[in-house]
Amino acid sequence: FGGDAGFIRLRMEGRRAPRENATIAPYPGGILKKISLAVIAALVLLYPVIVWLMGYAVEGRMDDTLAQIRRQAPYLTVVERHFRRGWYSSHVDVTFEAFHDVRGLLPNASGMGKLGAAPLRVTVRSVIHHGPICGMHCLGLAGIESRFIFSGPVRSALSRVYGSTDPVTIHSRLGFFGGGDATLLSPAFKDTALADGARLGWGGLVATFTYSRDYDSIALLATAPRAMLTGMDGKRLEIT
């Protein structure tokens, strides 16, 4: 067969199975390590920017919440709103007024003295920690710590039983895509004499609720161990 045999022999040799001791070169692990380090470095560098942008998202979410309150609670009026956006956290003060015509709403309001002379005004002062990591146990758009500051005679009445302690605080979390959860706390206080001689006791309140994006689903769990009121005549009402 002449030259054809040489050609056939070469093709058959080219199809020989690989030797058993042949090895495949391993994928260089150094490249994976460098890629991982580059990704981590990029996240570290970009995190401050992400947190700063979260501040704008939080402000928009709070504006939507205020609009929802105006629609569902027309007896509430937003008197003032101050939003101070920071890099990692922001501060917001919102002042509400409720029951402008107290004397018209309550027949006996004329006997309430200063409490019935002016509408109820309360300022909700909040510290907002931007997400995505908004605390030791918080992952979301933001974590918010809020306290209620009452004005006028209501503040004086509350200070008699609570002293310098905040009567109401709220710790809440905003989800990334809407919804969230919040915990309302009201501390307990021992039996305290009121201005008219009556005595009031309070075991505190813990209320936790979660809500969906459009507020169409709300779950509430509240615990109030004890409430006690003793009148001037000695009659006592206790709820446990």
- Per residue of the chain (240 residues), what is the pLDDT tens digit? 444 444 444 444 445 555 555 555 555 567 887 788 888 887 778 888 889 999 999 999 999 888 888 888 888 889 999 999 999 999 999 999 987 655 454 444 444 455 555 678 899 999 999 999 998 889 999 999 999 999 888 888 888 888 889 999 999 999 998 899 999 999 998 888 877 778 888 999 999 999 998 888 899 999 988 888 888 877 888 888
Q: Where are the beta strands (DSSP E) in the chain?
A: 76-85, 89-98, 120-130, 133-135, 138-139, 142-150, 169-174, 180-186, 189-193, 199-202, 205-211, 218-223, 227-230, 236-239
Residue 77 tokens read as 């009026």
| DSSP symbol at 7 | H
Q: Dihedral, CA atoms, 33, 35, 37, 39, nearest 10 degrees? A: -150
Instruction: Quickly tell me which residue has 């992952």 as its tokens.
Output: 139
Helices (H), the chain: 3-14, 29-72, 102-105, 152-162
Residue 1 burial (CB count, 10 A): 7
Specify whether the CB–CB gap between 97 and 69 falls below 8 A: no
